[in-house]
Amino acid sequence: GQSAHWLGSGYANAIAFVVLVVVLVVRPRGLLGRLA
């Protein structure tokens, strides 16, 4: 019901947030590696 829908929505939001953080963390490393 509503609880399951809320969990699904929250889970999707959590994944999107984690992906965003990973991209922000990995991108600078890649740039520094190329510059070095």
pLDDT, residue 27, reads 81
pLDDT, residue 18, reads 93
Looking at the 3D structure of the chain, how many domains does it have? 1
pLDDT digits (tens, 9 = 90+) for 8-24: 678 888 999 999 998 88
Give me 20's structure tokens: 């965003």
Instruction: Look up the domain containing 35 and give its range.
Output: 1-36
Confidence of residue 7 (pLDDT cuts 50, 70, 90): low
SS3 1: coil
**CA–CA separation, 15 vs 28, rounded Å?**
21
DSSP 29: H
Q: With the C-alpha atoms ordered 26, 29, 33, 35, is the resulting torsion angle positive or negative?
A: positive
Q: By CB neighbour count within 10 A (0-12 exposed, 13-18 middle, 19+ buried), where does 2 fall? A: exposed
